[in-house]
Amino acid sequence: MAELLDGKLLSTKIKEDLKLKAAEFEAKYCRKITLAVILVGENPASCVYVKNKIKAAEFIGIKSLSFSLPENTEEKDVEDLINNLARDKSVDGILVQLPLPKHLDEEKILALIPPEKDVDGFTAENVGNATLFKDCVNSCTPAGIMYMLKSINVPLSGKHAVIIGRSNIVGKPIALMLLKENCTVTVCHSKTVDLKSITKQADILVVAMGKAKFVTSDMVKDGAIVIDVGINRTETGLCGDVDFETVKDKASYITPVPGGVGPMTIAMLMYNAYTCALRRENV
């Protein structure tokens, strides 16, 4: 029976620590850490995520500036808003909630965020520095996964890590982070041939593909660490990309859905806001 990697518990510890750090920051620099959050449209999932991010910021003592724009907002208006926030010396971090409405150029809009205010770690400069294993703002979900892995004190060096999914938000950056820890990394995707034969080799299996309960016990190596990034809404409620009930008896550690990677993503976003604020104070 696998041990649970409890994202709620870990994220609470991170946020409590950040609450103290944010108070120290405010006392030293006579200002609050400030995070600007931009939401375009009314995607239900995005609205929930933004609400949770603002709630976490309030708990920690980070000032949040919330900008909710209509679905049909013109690209120039979004660009103008980001440019204004980029110039605003009181703003430490800028977050554009994804996905954006289809008529907006996501890549172009994200490129307007200064790297030093890029709390999501999505700008080309931060991604490039991550590729080179240089200091950067790391993407939140992969950073949360790494925090979870390190919390169980299992040596990562030499482990075979298999990732299902090659997105810019999870798959690619977590591959880089695991490489940095000297794992042997295999990235699988929709064109991978004989997926099961590869996943069964994984000491660490990270699943981020968006298909409910896709990974079953016959795809998992005995004693593997299984990280389920997926969150799918089904008739019976929320579930991950991993068939939790069957895989939990085969893995050594496993993340639940909900309550696993999700809370860690928000905690690491808050950590990024804090580190961006420190860097802007030349710390």
Q: Which class for 236: exposed (0-12), middle (13-18), buried (19 or more C-beta within 10 A)?
A: exposed
211-216-220 Cα angle (round to 5): 120
Return the residue matching tokens 């910021």.
57
Residues annotated catalytic, as ranges: 53, 97, 120
Say how far apart CA 219 and CA 105 lie, in whole Å: 38
DSSP string, 182-244: T-EEEEE-TT-SSHHHHHTT-SEEEE-S--TT-B-GGGS-TT-EEEE---EEETTEEE-SB-H
Question: Which two three-digit tokens encode residue 154?
Answer: 């299992």
Return the residue matching tokens 């939790």.
244
Instruction: Please say whether the beta carbons of 122 and 128 come within 8 A.
Output: no
β-pairing, 232-234 vs 237-239, is antiparallel
